[in-house]
């Protein structure tokens, strides 16, 4: 599956096949560089993480990797991992992961992320926050100077009185007069409204996308404000979580490590 980005996509600059190839390169590199036998591994969600999952499956099959236990971050990823024969566990039995690998919708210079364009933000965050190393894999179109204007911030909310919860979010100091909250319709895995009914996440919740005109000044504070609203399950700001970001660009692959 793919989702529609509101910013110019990489494919506007290079051919779609090349973009796919670059996603594969970063997905494979993350597994080759960070996943060793015996590890508990978090498997991300999305078109880039797909290739990391594929690589784990491939290396288990060839015997290059052994004794891997993986924790998927969505139903889609669980199904992909199962189809590849990757042994799966959950946080209920394994609260500590050695590494988690996932894509992102935007990455700022401090390696803060926007995630959840594919609707998987809650499961991604609950898993990735438990990883010793969180490795992010993106193409260079995901890099930005400040989170917000390039990609809306997804917030997962419970369906009960969701219009009220959306108003409460819109009235927060970080949001009031700065963003437009829009209920995601259609498929949760696509942040473009492509249906009439609210999108439903793997957890049975709704998603509100916060559309900003200007870069968010303090994403960490904004995340705390949002998290404090009753009715909010989780938000797609992943601040201070990244260990390293592997970036595929037309000039090759580069790695940015957190300070």
Ligand X SMILES: O=C[C@H](O)[C@H](O)[C@H](O)COP(=O)(O)O
Annotated catalytic sites, by residue? 124
Residue whose token pair is 């993350």: 30
Contact 99, 132 (CB under 8 A): yes
Most distant CA atoms of the chain, gap in Å? 55
- 178 or 184: CB nearest ligand X: 184
Contact 155, 189 (CB under 8 A): no
- 115 or 178: CB nearest ligand X: 115
- 57 or 116: CB nearest ligand X: 116
User: C-beta of 48: minimal distance to ligand X in Å?
Assistant: 3
Half-sphere exposure of 31 (CA within 13 A, CB side): 25
Binding site for ligand X (CB under 6 A): 44-49, 102-105, 115-121, 124
Q: Whole-angstrom Cα distance, residue 3 to residue 1? A: 7
Contact 212, 155 (CB under 8 A): no
User: C-beta of 71: minimal distance to ligand X in Å?
Assistant: 15
Contact 188, 207 (CB under 8 A): yes
User: C-beta of 246: minimal distance to ligand X in Å?
Assistant: 12
User: C-beta of 104: minimal distance to ligand X in Å?
Assistant: 6
Neighbours of 198 (CB within 10 A): 18
Assigned token pair, 133 = 């190393």
- 168 or 181: CB nearest ligand X: 181
């Amino acid at each position: 599956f793919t989702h529609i980005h509101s910013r110019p996509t990489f494919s506007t600059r290079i051919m779609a096949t090349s973009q796919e190839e670059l996603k594969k390169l970063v997905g494979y590199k993350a597994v080759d560089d960070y996943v060793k036998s015996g590890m508990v591994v978090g498997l991300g969600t999305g078109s880039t993480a797909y290739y990391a999952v594929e690589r784990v499956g491939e290396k288990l099959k060839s015997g290059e990797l052994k004794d891997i236990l993986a924790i998927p971050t969505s139903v889609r990823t669980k199904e992909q991992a199962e189809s590849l024969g990757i042994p799966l566990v959950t946080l209920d039995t394994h609260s500590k992961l050695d590494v988690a690998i996932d894509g992102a919708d935007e990455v700022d210079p401090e390696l803060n992320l926007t995630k959840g364009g594919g609707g998987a933000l809650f499961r991604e965050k609950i898993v990735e926050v438990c990883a010793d190393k969180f490795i992010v894999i993106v193409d260079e179109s995901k890099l930005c100077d400040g989170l917000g204007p390039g990609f809306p911030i997804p917030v997962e909310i419970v369906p009960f009185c969701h219009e009220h919860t959306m108003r409460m979010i819109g009235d927060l100091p970080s949001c009031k007069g700065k963003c437009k909250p829009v209920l995601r319709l259609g498929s949760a895995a696509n942040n473009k409204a492509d249906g009439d009914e609210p999108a439903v996440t793997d957890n049975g919740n709704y998603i509100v996308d916060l559309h900003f005109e200007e870069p968010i000044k303090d994403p960490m504070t904004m995340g705390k404000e949002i998290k404090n609203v009753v009715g909010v399950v989780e938000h797609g700001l992943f601040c201070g979580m990244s260990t390293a970001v592997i970036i595929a660009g037309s000039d090759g692959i580069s790695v940015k490590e957190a300070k």
